[in-house]
């Protein structure tokens, strides 16, 4: 089967279309044929350039994960009042997860199927330095009396789980609660405000 076209154009087209389809329909809801049809290529092109749908999804995930890490880093390193930082931190998680809703499912799959590879992905982005900075900031706020004595790791895990789980649970929640995607998006927007309020109240003396 003929696969010769302008390589950058074909690869970029496949990547752009894949990104949109994965975000809209998820990994399982997107087929190789869907991608080839929408990108005006064929299945042989996808096999030739990316080998498999999973490899293609990994590329999209890496892009999304880089965006997530860089933007969270910008928030954590900001010099602003601590409760403003908490609000911005949670806002950023929700903003990115609305933009890339496939991140939680991919993380869950990787935890189950290939935790070593996921660990390598995390470590190459040097999260320890960012966590050390957060820990230092938390300790300073405890000393100032701004917040109650708090384990920085507990805080990070609580914020992460409160933000990520509603997106991970989304497909099931839509069915169980009989909501449309738009209705559930509104639920998530309201839930974000609840999470911000919940975390800040838990930290206040």
* Domain that includes residue 44, residue range: 1-51
Same domain, 171 and 121: yes
pLDDT tens-digit profile of 106-115?
777 777 777 8
The answer to which of 35-39, 125-129, 141-145, 148-152 has the lowest mean pLDDT is 125-129
- Assign 157 a pLDDT band (cuts: 50, 70, 90): very high
- pLDDT for 3 beyond 50: no
Same domain, 103 and 188: yes
Same domain, 43 and 103: no
Instruction: Tell me how far apart the alpha carbons of residues 65 and 149 are, in angstroms, rounded to a whole number.
Output: 31
List Cβ neighbours of 40 (8 Å cut-off, separation of 6 or more). Answer: 13
- pLDDT for 2 beyond 50: no
Q: Hey, how many other C-beta atoms are within 10 angstroms of the C-beta on 74?
A: 11
Instruction: Tell me how far apart the alpha carbons of residues 126 and 201 are, in angstroms, rounded to a whole number.
Output: 30
**CATH number of the domain enclosing 92:** 1.10.357.10
Instruction: Tell me how far apart the alpha carbons of residues 15 and 35 are, in angstroms, rounded to a whole number.
Output: 9
Q: pTM for this structure?
A: 0.81
Same domain, 166 and 193: yes
Q: What's the total number of domains in the chain? A: 2
**CATH number of the domain enclosing 31:** 1.10.10.60
Same domain, 88 and 161: yes
Instruction: Tell me how far apart the alpha carbons of residues 187 and 191 are, in angstroms, rounded to a whole number.
Output: 6
The torsion of the CA quartet 196, 101, 15, 127, rounded to 10 degrees, works out to 50
């Amino acid at each position: 089967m003929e696969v010769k076209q302008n390589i950058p154009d074909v690869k970029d087209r496949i990547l752009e279309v894949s990104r949109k389809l994965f975000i809209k329909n998820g990994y399982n809801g997107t087929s190789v044929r869907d991608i080839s049809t929408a990108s005006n290529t064929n299945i042989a092109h996808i096999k030739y350039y990316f080998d498999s749908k999973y490899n293609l999804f990994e590329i999209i995930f890496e892009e999304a994960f880089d965006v997530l890490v860089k933007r969270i880093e910008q928030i954590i390193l900001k010099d602003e009042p601590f409760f403003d930082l908490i609000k911005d931190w949670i806002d950023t998680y929700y903003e990115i997860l609305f933009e890339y809703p496939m991140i939680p499912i991919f993380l869950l799959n990787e935890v189950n199927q290939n935790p070593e590879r996921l660990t390598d992905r995390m470590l190459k982005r040097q999260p320890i330095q960012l966590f050390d900075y957060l820990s230092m900031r938390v300790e300073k706020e405890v000393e100032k009396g701004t917040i109650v004595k708090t384990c920085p790791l507990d805080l990070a895990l609580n914020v992460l789980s409160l933000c990520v789980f509603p997106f991970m649970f989304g497909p099931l929640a839509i069915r169980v609660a009989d909501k449309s995607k738009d209705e559930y998006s509104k639920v998530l927007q309201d839930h974000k405000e609840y999470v911000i309020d919940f975390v800040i109240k838990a930290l206040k003396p």
